[in-house]
Amino acid sequence: MIYERASAPPASRTDFVLESIKAGILGGELRPGQALVEAELAASLVVSKTPVREALKTLAGSGLVVMSPYKGASVRVVDAELVRSVYEVRTVVEPEAVRYAVRKGARFAEAAEALADARKAAEDGEDAARLSLINRRFHRAMYCGCGNPLMIRIVDDLRDQTALITVAGWGIQPTWEAEIVEHGAVLAAAQTGDADRAAKLMRRHIQAFADRVVEELPHGV
């Protein structure tokens, strides 16, 4: 049975189905390569097939689902090519967004809160899905004050694929404790107003994660 945290549909049934399937994917209930059968999902979520179909189209657009005219929908498989394509963009755009945020005097209280939550979650032995959600909170809090809506949108558009890659990567090598330390260094530089150092550390952090996992992932699907 897939994710059931929402006890009732939110704004619309499509949104409810979308968030439920997304949580199932990022939480590991719906595995990479697993077929997403409209009728089965509809029965599990007690909805018609129409909102399921619309949700799957949206998830395909965000990169979590692959649509095939012959095989239907399935959960995206994380391979080396996906990591490279996503992280090549992140290493260029996200550190610069952090640099601009620091230079504009952005406040990083939300990032500090996310970092504290990550440390507690790691100590409590929380699962990778929970840590991934905190991870994306931290990253967004670091770049969202950059003052450039296009930059924010570019990185935001990669968030779901980044979360999918993060969970897959931690499944291979659970390195979140090292990454929490790296987050702390980035935040410390930002809080002291050292924009160049914050950007450099963020770029190094993003690239290091990609380098760690890409060697262990299949090349091609």
Q: What is the pTM of this model?
A: 0.83
For helices 149-156 and 128-143, angle between their N-to-C axes, nearest 10 degrees: 170
pLDDT tens, position by position, 72-125: 999 999 888 899 999 999 999 999 999 999 999 999 999 999 999 999 999 988
Q: What is the pLDDT of residue 10?
A: 52
Residue 197 CB partners (closer than 8 Å, separation 6+)? 189
**Whole-Å CA distances, 62 to 22, 27, 34, 156:** 10, 17, 17, 10
Burial of 201 (0-12, 13-18, 19+ CB in 10 A): buried
Mean pLDDT across 180-202: 97
Q: What is the pLDDT of residue 96?
A: 98
Q: What is the pLDDT of residue 134?
A: 92
Q: What is the DSSP string of the chain?
A: ------SS--S-HHHHHHHHHHHHHHTTSS-TT-EE-HHHHHHHHTS-HHHHHHHHHHHHHHTSEEEETTTEEEEPPP-HHHHHHHHHHHHHHHHHHHHHHHHTT---HHHHHHHHHHHHHHHTT--HHHHHHHHHHHHHHHHTTSS-HHHHHHHHTTHHHHHHHHHHHHHH---HHHHHHHHHHHHHHHHTT-HHHHHHHHHHHHHHHHHHHHTTS-S--
Task: At 106, give phi and psi (nearest 5°).
Answer: -60, 150
pLDDT tens, position by position, 9-39: 455 888 999 999 998 888 778 888 999 999 9
pLDDT tens, position by position, 120-167: 999 988 877 788 889 999 999 999 999 999 999 999 999 889 988 888
Q: What is the pLDDT of residue 115?
A: 97
Q: What is the pLDDT of residue 163?
A: 87
Token pair 């704004």 in the structure block, residue: 11
